[in-house]
Amino acid sequence: MAIRVDLDKRLYDRRMSLTELADRVGVTIANLSILKTGKARAIRFSTLEALCRELDCQPGELLVFVPGPLNEDVD
């Protein structure tokens, strides 16, 4: 995945667990894990907005571009 969602550092800075973030943002832990592990295909603005609100950051601080192969098409 060329775009990575950098949650770990933000969570560490805020001393927040993944479970707590999931509760606050209103998504499941499974979906947050998909975001964290780079398996997500897309992120909704509403999710991004909630993440930025709860982690007190800007979208650009959460999304990191990592050079590499693009996700292969899902069938």
Partner 1 sequence: MRTLGPGSVSSLLKTVLDVVYFGLLVVAGALGLAALAALLFRFDPTMVKGIAIDGAGGQVLTRPEVLGGLFVAIGLYVAGVLIILNRLRKVFVTLTAGDPFHPDNVARLRLVGALLAGLEIMRYLVWAGSLALVPGIDRTGPSISLSGWFSILVVFVLAEVFREGARLRREAELTI
AA letter at 56: D
Q: How far is the CB of 61 from partner 1 (least distance, A)?
A: 18
C-alpha to C-alpha distance for 61 and 65, rounded to whole angstroms: 11
* Residue 7 found at the interface with partner 1 (CB under 8 A): no
Element holding 63 (H helix, E strand): strand 63-65
User: Interface with partner 1 includes 29 (CB under 8 A)?
Assistant: no
Piece of the chain touching partner 1 by CB under 8 A; list 9-17, 28-36, 59-67:
28-36
Q: Report the SS3 class of residue 5.
A: strand
Give the interface with partner 1 as residue ranges (CB under 8 A): 27, 31-32, 34-35, 39-44, 47, 73-75
